[in-house]
Structures are given as C-alpha cells and as structure tokens.
Amino acid sequence: MPLLRNRTRSRAATAALAAAATAALLLTSCSSTAPAGSSPTPSGEPVAGGELTFAISVDSQCIDPQQVGNNDAIAIARQTVASLTTQDPDTGEILPWLAEDFEVNADATSFTFTLRDGATYADGAPIDAASVKTNFEAIVALGAKASLGSSYLADLAGIDVVDDSTVTITFSEPSAQFLQATSTFSLGLLSPATAAVSQADRCLGDFVGSGPFSVESYTPNEGAKLVRREGYAWGPSTNAHTGEAYLDAIEYVVVPEAGNRTGSLQSGQIDATTGISATDAVLFESADFWSENRANPGVVYNLYANQSTPKLAAEDVRLAIQKGIDRDEITATLLGPDDEPAVSPLSSTTPYFTDLSDDLAFDPDAAADLLEGAGWTVGADGIREKDGEKLSFLVTYWQSPKEVLELVQQQLRAIGVDLQLKFASFADVQAANADGTYDFSYGNLTRSDPDVLRTVFTADNPAGNTRRPARTVIDELLDEQSSIVDAAERQRVVDEAARALIADGTTIPIYQLSTTITASSRVQGLTFEASSRLDFYDAWIAE
C-alpha cells in the first residue's frame, strides 16, 4: 500500500531550514557555460601515480566539506570525505557506502544505518556509530556556517548509538529527503577530532577526512593540494573501483580569468577545468582534449519574486513575467549547446523530474492580456503604468553570465515590464535578500532530491527567497512529499507541487545550470557524481 502522510512540518523548523538554505542558494549558483564535446573514452587499464592540475575560477576561502557551498570549493572538499550512502547518477537510487545497510521507517522519521567493518578516518580513528553522532551534532552546532548540512538535519530529534556499528537518527517531523542527504559531501564524515577544531581553521584545511584524498596544503586565493590516502579501501559501488585512488595528488590552482584558463589548458599548464567559456570551447574540439557535460540537479536558475511587495503580490503580474521570458532564445543565443531551457522548477537530472514545458510556454500575448486585465496599461515609453506607478523592478545579482539577465530584461520590456539590473558583491546580495530590500533575487540551488523545492519556495520562512506571506496548497504539497517513502506516490505529489508553483507564478524558471569538464586527453576517469559534483576518485593520467 502506498505510504501517504499529511503531517505538517513545524513552521519554526522549516523556517530555520530555509533561512540556512538562502545563503546556500547564493553560494551554489556559480555557472559553467561551456558546451561539451565528446565524452571521455578510457584507453587501457588505469595507471597509478602522477599529479593532476585542475583550475578553479574562484576561491571562497574555505575547503571544509561540512561548510562549503561554492562549486569550486566543493570540487576540492568532496574528494576528502566518504559518506554513509552513495547515489546512482543514472537512476537516483540511494546505495550503501560507509553504511552497508540502512532502514527507513514508514513515515520517514527514523533512519537506522549499519556501518561496514574496517573503515577508518585518515588519522586511524574508526568510522563507528559514535563518530557519526559526533559528526552530525557538530554540523548542527555549526548552524549557518554549515548552511547545507544543517538544513538537511532540520527537525533532528536525536541520534542513538545502538552499538559500535549501528546508529539511528530520528526526526520530529517526516524527512524523506534525509536518505539522499547522507550521500552528499555536506554530511560527509570527518574524524571526531575535527569537531574540536575551530570553524576558521577547518576552513583553512585543518580537518581529517574519511575519503580517498587528504589535504596537504591550502593557500587562499592561490590553491590547494590533495594527496592520495594510503590504505583507503571502501570506495562506493557507483565508482569503477574500491581501493586507493590512482592519482598521487591533485593540485588545484585559482585562475580567475576565463581567457587564462583557456591558455593554461592549451599550453598544458593545467590538465583540466570546468571554467572554459562557451566561446572558447571550439578550441578544444580535437583528439587532444575531451569534454563532458552534466546538468546540475535541483532548482534551476530562477527569478525569485519578493511577494511581500505590492506589485509582486499580484499573481497576474508574476505569471505575466513568467510567460514573457523566451527560454529557448536565451539558451540558443547565449549559452552552450548542452545548456537547456528550464522546463520545470526542477532540473532534468533531479530524481522525480517531469518535463512541464507545456506549462512554461513562451506566450507574450497572454502575458500582455494578464497585465491589461490587472490594470497595467502601456505608457508613452512602452513601460506599463497604473495609478502613476511604473511596472518596474530591480534585480540585484552577482552571478555570471550577466548577458542572461540582460536578454531577460529585453524580453520583458517587450511586454511593458521594466527590469533594472544591479550587479553587487555576494555579501551585498545576501544582505538585500536577508532584509527584503529587493524585488527579484536570482539563482539556483543544487540538490539531487525534489525536497529542494520546499527548501527554496516554502512560505514558512518569512525571509525566504520568495517571501510568500501565507501558506497555500503549495506548502501542503511540499510538506506532504517530504513524508512519503513510496516512490510512485511521491512522484505524484512532487509533480502536483511543481505544477502549482508554475500555475501561480511563484517559480519563474529561466534555464538549468550545467557543468562541463574540459580536459587534456591524458586525463582519464574524471567524471561527475549524482549531484553533478566532480569526482576524482577514478581519475588517472595516461602517459
């Protein structure tokens, strides 16, 4: 019998989850806009040894896996930790990793993990039930510093160490998303000794992980070096092998300018990057290089309407803006050939994704009719007016490429909407979102579970991305899906929630973020995990 629970998540807990995730949405919104060429084809058997040099675009001043949210920092941090579970990139299925078995109760409030024997942290400490408890309690204690991990642990009621190899995590409210969360780097396990290290020192690399690589050095704004961990023997089933990593080391270098990344890859100064611009991608269409592209799961790039403002509280205005955006034109003219227009609030690689493109059709005539019906008439300058006020909005943004928003600006002007763009620092954008002094915010949130919709769009957080003033049927659906374990029933409710978000203009999707690896043909086995994070574990250097 399908499981269906209608228990409503406590508003205080949900507000805390969403508030923590607001910063995470901003942090994870860095875009890679290079088109993919041919996917890598491994040549021969993997060879152990060698050092791979990888260029990142920005340095967020932190590489602690339990604190990072920026994609470039995650490319470093993910390699240093193993997780309780792993997620199949093709099916979305959650599979054992450090936990050889797991059980979830009927209403997704209790999760029991049985740990594998013999796994250790890099300092030799055993990966046991007590260390799992220490990790999760330390993440909760970090609070907003661990914006992703602490949100996954919202409504945590208790952690019971049953015995050395068995731990039960209990929540006060249903949390079907938690099982997938245990596969992420954010809940990756660090040695218990790390819990006593300061947050700042952990950011600078002073932590001990459980993964195939360990931090040798990290210099902010310059780069980091990871080295292979000797004796690692518990790689996940989703990888091609389970023993030690093949690479001796990974050298990460910070190269902010796209042109410099292109030149460095061409000259062999770096071996791979995700930071090649779409215009330069053609330079790597030869046998000397390869590229691989994957859409980031989660909520696609959106304009998030501050519904606490009078103009955007009007459903017809939000819907008109949603219908006035030509997503196909944006991806065809500005982004790489593998970047796709949004066809749902969810990206196509997210479990439970359904193509809802018919609900998101570009329809400027319908948009104009909605605005006329709402009393907004076209003024002498082409911008609509009502009661002496212009239909004008400000979006404060920090992400690139700015050309996407500039084209959206042009498209909306065609229906009489004035969208003003203000580029600002990340801190200023975060401050504007926190105090509500914005009309639209802009960004995405990567997460390989549909509960990301609740994180981003809940009305239970009055300072959230959309600042929805009251709960509606949308929130009931989002809460409902978070308690359902049965896959078919959860699919039905997720689809209903996604359609409801579109139907009242709460979601204004634009395009789905994707990431492209571009690498020398010497690089083999470098790929993506299910969350489209980089995975260097199977990577090796062909001579």
pLDDT in tens, 463-518: 777 889 899 999 999 999 999 989 999 999 999 999 999 999 999 999 998 999 99
Closest CA to 56 of 218, 279, 294: 218
**461 touches 24 (CB < 8 A):** no
Facing residues of 215 across strands? Answer: 226
pLDDT, tens digit (0-9, with 9 covering 90-100), for 91-105? 999 999 999 999 999
- CA distances (Å), 182 to each of 94, 98, 143, 168, 335, in order? 9, 10, 17, 13, 33
**15 touches 460 (CB < 8 A):** yes
Q: What type of residue is 513? A: L
Find tokens 């062999």 and name the residue: 268
Note the Cα 178 to chain centre separation in Å: 15
Structure tokens at 28: 């994870």
Per-residue pLDDT for 261 more than 70? yes
Closest CA to 266 of 252, 280, 278: 280
Closest CA to 190 of 122, 247, 265: 122
Query: What does the alpha-carbon distance between residue 293 and residue 236 come to, in Å, rounded to a whole number?
Result: 22
Per-residue pLDDT band for 450 (boundaries 50, 70, 90) equals: very high
**465 touches 496 (CB < 8 A):** no
Using a cut of 0.95, tell me whether the model's pTM lies above it: no
Q: E-assigned strands of 117-185?
A: 156-163, 166-171
Least confident of 74-83, 229-238, 299-308, 333-342: 333-342
Handedness of CA 441, 330, 412, 300 (dihedral sign): negative
Query: What does the alpha-carbon distance between residue 520 and residue 271 come to, in Å, rounded to a whole number?
Result: 5
Angle of CA points 429, 430, 434, to nearest 5°: 120
pLDDT of the residue at 487: 93
Q: What are phi and psi of 158, to 5 degrees?
A: 180, 160
pLDDT, tens digit (0-9, with 9 covering 90-100), for 32-65? 444 434 455 556 799 999 999 999 998 989 999 9
pLDDT, tens digit (0-9, with 9 covering 90-100), for 120-163? 999 999 999 999 999 999 999 999 899 899 999 999 999 999 99
**178 touches 169 (CB < 8 A):** yes
Structure tokens at 287: 């046998």
